[in-house]
Chain A
Amino acid sequence: DQQVKQNSPSLSVQEGRISILNCDYTNSMFDYFLWYKKYPAEGPTFLISISSIKDKNEDGRFTVFLNKSAKHLSLHIVPSQPGDSAVYFCAASVGYGQNFVFGPGTRLSVLP
């Protein structure tokens, strides 16, 4: 029973273009969402978050959009850079700092 889904295992984007990573969830009780980035042989690092009271949050080149009615969120990276090549995990929780449920990840490759 996968509560957080990332249906694209991989994504390739040209440098300078927009990367859009998608995440769907099934538990309507989730009210806090995060994106983590993971490089090989390293632990995940926090990227950006959004609470259910918002529908958009920006941090530099990274923007997360939340569509609660569709139970869908997306991460936009503009412009994409080769250093963005990593696995991106979407995670969700009921309440702040609680049991985060992670998706399976999407491997992003930004081609020079």
Chain B
Amino acid sequence: EAGVAQSPRYKIIEKRQSVAFWCNPISGHATLYWYQQILGQGPKLLIQFQNNGVVDDSQLPKDRFSAERLKGVDSTLKIQPAKLEDSAVYLCASSYSRGNTEAFFGQGTRLTVV
């Protein structure tokens, strides 16, 4: 079974630039999550999708972050414009369903904003 795929693995941008991350969840997984993990902290949920609908985006800074999951499969997370404090690892995870508690994580994208 293929795992959660994320790209790119690393990204360095200047502040005020924009950046996008891509995630391909495990086939058949209806629930998709984006987490932000700042160095020294645990992952923080940014947004949760059930198929192509948003279940929870209460911690997503909507003035600069956006995410979509077209056709209920792949997802992209965008930051525009980036700030220095956005430097973090962005993790995508998926689970079979919303009621299934075991989420499978991708390797993450390490973003550095300079």
Contacts and interface: CB of A to CB of B under 8 A. Distances in A.
Interface of A: 4, 32, 34, 36, 41-46, 49, 89, 91, 93, 96-105
A54 to B, nearest CB: 14
Given A43-B91, A96-B100, A104 B45 contact: no
B103 A46 contact: yes
Contacts of B61: none
Given A96-B99, A104-B41, 9 more contacts: A34-B102, A43-B91, A43-B107, A44-B43, A49-B102, A96-B100, A98-B56, A103-B42, A104-B42
Contacts of A93: 101
A50 to B, nearest CB: 11
B93 interface: yes
Contacts of B31: 97
Given A43-B93, A96-B99, A102 B107 contact: no
A74 B43 CA distance: 19
A91 B91 CA distance: 15
A38 to B, nearest CB: 8
Interface in B59-114: 91, 93, 95, 97-108
Interface of B: 4, 31, 40-45, 48, 56, 58, 91, 93, 95, 97-108
A106 to B, nearest CB: 10
Contacts of B107: 41-43
Contacts of B56: 98-99
Contacts of A97: 31, 95, 97-101
Nearest to B44: A102
Contacts of A100: 45, 103
Contacts of A89: 42-43
A25 B24 CA distance: 32
Nearest to B102: A46
B45 A96 contact: no
A43 B105 contact: yes
Contacts of B95: 97
